[in-house]
């Protein structure tokens, strides 16, 4: 989990003056929103319904999520906000550009 937090904070996905992805969240000092979202890792390899059999049990997943939040709060001065683990939430966001990254521990 620590390695994932460090990668998340240092991953260079924000543009520099030339528009090249060259700055990290740590570099920009921006805020971080962490929301648990296990459906992103759904198995969609067969059938018409996503499968979640490889997901961690809820207690284990919540422990890992809370550990990730704690490490990010310890290391990132730009502020870290969270959703409520396991809750149905409406999250409004704006994606800046057509990029999405899936970082795995």
Q: Which band of pLDDT confidence, cut at 50, 70 and 90, is reported for residue 95?
A: confident
Report the percent of the chain where pLDDT is more than 70: 100
First to last CA, the chain: 6
Q: Exactly one of 14, 28, 38, 82 is catalytic; name it.
A: 38
To the query of whether residue 38 is one of the catalytic residues in this protein, the response is yes
3 state DSSP class of 7: helix
Residues 10-52 have pLDDT tens digits of: 999 999 999 999 999 999 999 999 998 878 778 999 999 999 8
Tokens for 19? 């528009």
String of b and e for 86-105 (b: at least 16 CB within 10 Å)?
A: eeeeeeeeeeeeeeeeeeee
Class of domain 2-41+53-82: alpha beta
Tokens for 87? 């809750």
To the query of whether residue 101 is one of the catalytic residues in this protein, the response is no
């Amino acid at each position: 989990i620590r390695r994932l937090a460090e990668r998340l904070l240092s991953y260079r996905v924000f543009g520099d003056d030339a528009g090249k992805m060259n700055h990290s969240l740590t570099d920009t000092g921006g805020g971080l929103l962490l929301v648990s979202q296990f459906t992103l890792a759904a198995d969609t390899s067969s059938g018409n319904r996503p499968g979640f059999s490889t997901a961690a049990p809820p207690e284990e997943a919540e422990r890992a999520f809370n550990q990730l939040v704690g490490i990010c709060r310890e290391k990132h001065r730009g502020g870290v906000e969270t959703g409520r683990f396991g809750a149905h939430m409406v999250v409004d966001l704006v994606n800046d550009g057509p990029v999405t990254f899936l970082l795995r521990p």
